Homo-oligomer: A and B are copies of this chain.
Amino acid sequence: MYTVSEVARMSGVTVRTLHHYDEIGLLPPAHIGENRYRYYGREELLRLQQILLHRALGLPLEEISAILDDPDFDRVATLQKHRRKLQTEAEHYADLIRTIDRTIADLKGDDVMSDMDLYSGLVPAEKQAEYEAWLVEKYGPDMAEDIKRSKQVMADWTKGDMEAAMKQLAIAEQGLANAMDRGISAEDSANDPLIEIHRAWVARMWDKPCPPQAYAGLADMYLSHPDFEARYESIAKGFTTYLTDAMKAWAERQG
């Protein structure tokens, strides 16, 4: 039998949290002494673990209660539902990152965003649909058609293989940015397998092999084109030159 503070120490929650969980009936103590002290047993520790797991997954306490108290409750289905929620959240983050990239470009004058596009990714999809419906009303169906079609193209563009490819690219870029943060030189990073991953991504985008010379040429293009610079600088300050240095060092070593 453990007291509140003991359980708190073991599980990492606060005493108040245990009080709260008792209050709402989520985790009543095994016994309550004549002094009104709460005492918890092994059974309660296990239940607390379950609670914390589900809480960590973002489920509200009420739902956790339902899951743990109903033996017939379909945990798998609940978790899958929650997984889908998380997935859309994750995609939402990807949208946000793209919006930030475009915003940075906009602030640098490389791109012009309409008032509406400013909010892309920040706005729930249904709200955007509402807005589009409102546009149809205001400007007539022709203008709305243009807007709609451009979005359709973008939707096709980001789905499927593209998403996987973007993930691959993000892994390579983020990893190399981390290497830069850790003080590893660009020349050393040229040996990092992430460079190979990056080159493989390029080849995949081009749909043809990317030999060392072409890879070095691409580095130059990154340097001379502001869009690319904006993109790489948004990952980390100085990352443009870092990446291109590593790319060129790699190419030199190959041939």
Interface residue from B45, B79, B107, B118 paired with A75 (Cβ < 8 Å): B107
A214 lies within 8 A of chain B by Cβ: no
Interface residue from B49, B57, B103 paired with A53 (Cβ < 8 Å): B103
A220 lies within 8 A of chain B by Cβ: no
The answer on a CB contact under 8 Å between B130 and A9 is yes
* Contact residues in B for A229 (Cβ distance below 8 Å): 42, 45
A76 lies within 8 A of chain B by Cβ: yes
- Selected interface stretch from A29-37, A92-100, A140-148, A188-196: A92-100
A235 lies within 8 A of chain B by Cβ: yes
A162 lies within 8 A of chain B by Cβ: no
A185 lies within 8 A of chain B by Cβ: no
Interface residue from B12, B45, B119, B226 paired with A52 (Cβ < 8 Å): B119
Interface residues of A (CB under 8 A from B): 2, 9-12, 42, 45-46, 49, 52-53, 56-58, 75-77, 79-80, 82-84, 86-87, 89-90, 93-94, 96-97, 99-101, 103-104, 107-108, 115-116, 118-119, 122-124, 127-128, 130-131, 134, 170, 174, 177, 226-227, 229-230, 233-237
